[in-house]
């Protein structure tokens, strides 16, 4: 069987979407007025993002990171990379060819492919090998930037490791009680207004102060309760957030997590062990259904579909992409989707998410979680993982600062 025919299986192993009832991946067409492929679509300080780069990244995202707003997400990512590469130059950081090659090999190996095989899959979807190389290069230099800038700030104690080991004990699980604030970030203007506020919220240490801030500025329904949420199993949260909570104390705030529509900030209220085993899933099976008729259509769809499989019948005759079903590793799920899924069990639904820049409601259904017994980690493994997660939290805040200080013109 040729590479083209095995693409879906490969991407499922990489931890990317298995997309059902979706259209063929293609690079978006140029406007009728024959806009140059190399004309700028965004200026980031002294750098530019070209139409060609945007088209290429859109196609790559559709292969690697299922998204309802591929063009917006691709442009945001390219702008972030311009900022990251600029800081890397200031630090004198550059990835050598051997490091880039190793990064490409590691990425392709997630799908049990060699680099040439993976590049052939890219070519089948109109994606240049240089696009893949640039994608890997940006990730390498940014990781080195945040390592140099923040590694010395991270102090993982023996108590942190003991706590993690206790919570991973097979005889029980853990759950978290938190407060949340979501700030609007549906477009560049909202993001620019929300990022400085997010940095202020990160400094909050008092639960009462956070509750007050949530009532004033949060756009989530939980604002009426001061951002308070119900208990959530730690294993159901996005991996980075779950592990960050393990090193936090009540009152501390983590974030911001960009969901694509909002910036989410979360304050730890309590973390406790439970008597019920709570292994972390290795993959999550879920479906999204575009409600073209508006949010009112969710009632009829819910009445007709008790399981994800029922949605296929409802999608018959609908435009391609109306129904999409994914099987993803928890850490590969978009933050906004992952946070909603954390609140759901199999067969339950959410209508809190939107597509098309807030124009189309999404019907999100949890299909199920798949579990696998994993080998016990050493104390050094746990220390390294906790360090990486805390550095990731610092890196997200640092990138938000870079965006706020940059001159970005789209």
pLDDT digits (tens, 9 = 90+) for 318-362: 887 788 888 887 877 877 788 888 888 888 888 877 776 567 788
Q: Against a cut of 0.95, is the pTM above it?
A: no
Same domain, 380 and 286: no
Identify the pLDDT of residue 277: 52
Please check the confidence at residue 274 and state whether its pLDDT lies above 70.
no
Q: Are 24 and 62 in contact (CB under 8 A)?
A: no
Number of residues in the chain: 410
Query: Higher confidence at residue 180 or residue 239?
Result: 180
Give burial (CB, 10 Å; 0-12/13-18/19+) of 287: buried
Q: Is 23 domain-assigned? A: no
* Average pLDDT taken over every residue of the chain: 79
Domain boundary among 136, 151, 166: 151
Residues 107 and 188 occupy one common structural domain = no
Q: Is a pLDDT exceeding 90 seen at residue 295?
A: no
Identify the weakest region by mean pLDDT among 99-108, 158-167, 381-390: 158-167
Q: Are residues 289 and 274 in the same domain?
A: no
Same domain assignment for residues 307 and 359: yes
The answer to whether residue 170 is domain-embedded is: yes
265 shares a domain with 389 = yes
Q: How far is CA 226 from the centre of its chain?
A: 25
Q: Do 320 and 391 reside in the same domain of the chain? A: no
Q: Which domain holds residue 184?
A: 158-278+374-409
Q: Percent helix, strand, coil in the chain (nearest 5)?
A: 50, 20, 35
Do 226 and 357 share a domain, yes or no?
Answer: no
CA distance 135 to 65: 13
| Residue 9 included in any domain | no
Mark whether 271 and 401 lie in a shared domain. Answer: yes
* Within-domain flag for 30: no
| 17/288: higher pLDDT | 288
For the cut 50, the answer to whether the pLDDT of residue 15 exceeds it is no
367 & 379 share domain: no
DSSP 17-46: ----S-----PPPPPTT---TTSEEEEETT
Tell me the mean pLDDT in the region 237-255: 79
Pairwise pLDDT comparison (43 vs 247), residue with the higher score: 43
Same domain, 254 and 316: no
Whether 166 is covered by a domain: the verdict is yes
Number of domains the chain contains:
3
> Whole-angstrom Cα distance, residue 65 to residue 63?
6
Residue 142 confidence (pLDDT): 93
CATH code for the domain of 332 = 3.10.50
| Section 2-22 average pLDDT | 37
Does residue 18 belong to any structural domain of this protein? no
Q: Could you tell me the CATH number of the domain that includes residue 58?
A: 1.10.4030.10
Q: Which residues of 184-196 are buried (b: 16+ CB within 10 A; e: fewer)?
A: bbbebebbeebbe
Kindly state whether residue 261 falls inside one of the protein's structural domains: yes
Q: Indicate whether 225 and 104 sit together in one domain.
A: no
Whether residue 256 has a cis bond before it, omega within 30° of 0: yes
Domain-embedded: residue 312? yes
CATH label of the domain that carries residue 264? 3.10.50.40
Please compute, for residue 4, the number of CA atoms within 13 A of its CA located in the half-sphere on the CB side.
6
- Tell me which of 117, 136, 151 is where a domain ends: 151
Do 162 and 219 lie in one domain? The reply is: yes
- What contacts 53, CB < 8 A, 6 or more positions away? 78, 131
* Domain's final residue, options 81, 116, 151: 151
């Amino acid at each position: 069987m040729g590479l083209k025919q095995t693409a879906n299986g490969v991407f499922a192993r990489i931890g990317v979407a298995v997309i059902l009832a979706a259209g063929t991946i293609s690079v978006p067409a140029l406007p009728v007025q024959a806009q140059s492929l190399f004309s700028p679509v965004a200026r980031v300080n002294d750098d530019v993002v070209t139409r060609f780069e945007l088209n290429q990244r859109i196609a790559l995202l559709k292969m690697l990171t299922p998204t309802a707003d591929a063009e917006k997400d691709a442009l945001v990512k390219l702008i972030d990379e311009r900022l990251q590469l600029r800081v890397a130059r200031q630090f004198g950081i550059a990835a050598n060819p051997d490091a880039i090659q190793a990064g490409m090999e590691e990425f392709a190996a997630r799908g049990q492919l060699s680099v040439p095989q993976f590049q052939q899959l890219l070519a089948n979807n109109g994606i240049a090998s240089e696009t893949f190389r640039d994608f890997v290069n940006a990730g390498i230099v940014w990781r080195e930037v945040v390592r140099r800038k923040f590694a010395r700030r991270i102090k993982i104690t023996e108590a942190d490791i003991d706590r993690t080991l206790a919570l991973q004990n097979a005889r029980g699980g853990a759950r978290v009680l938190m407060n949340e604030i979501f700030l609007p970030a549906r477009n560049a203007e909202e993001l620019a207004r929300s990022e400085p506020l997010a940095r202020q919220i990160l400094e909050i240490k008092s639960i009462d102060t956070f509750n007050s801030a949530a009532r004033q500025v949060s756009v989530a329904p939980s604002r009426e309760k001061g951002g308070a949420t119900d208990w959530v199993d730690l294993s159901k949260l996005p991996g980075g957030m779950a592990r960050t909570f393990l090193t936090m104390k009540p009152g501390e705030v983590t974030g911001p997590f960009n969901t694509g529509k909002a910036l989410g900030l979360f304050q730890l209220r309590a973390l406790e062990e439970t008597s019920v085993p709570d292994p972390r899933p290795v993959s999550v099976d879920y479906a999204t259904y575009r409600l073209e008729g508006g949010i009112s259509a969710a009632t009829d769809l819910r009445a007709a579909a008790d399981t994800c499989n029922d949605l296929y019948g409802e999608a018959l005759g609908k435009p391609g992409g109306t129904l999409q079903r994914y099987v993803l590793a928890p850490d590969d799920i978009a933050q906004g989707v992952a946070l909603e899924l954390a609140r759901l069990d199999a067969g339950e639904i959410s209508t809190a998410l939107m597509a098309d820049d807030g124009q189309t409601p999404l019907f999100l259904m949890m299909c199920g979680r798949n579990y696998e017994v994993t080998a016990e980690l050493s104390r050094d493994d746990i220390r390294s993982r906790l360090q990486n997660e805390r550095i990731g939290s610092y890196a997200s805040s640092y990138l938000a600062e870079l965006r706020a200080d940059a001159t970005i013109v789209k």
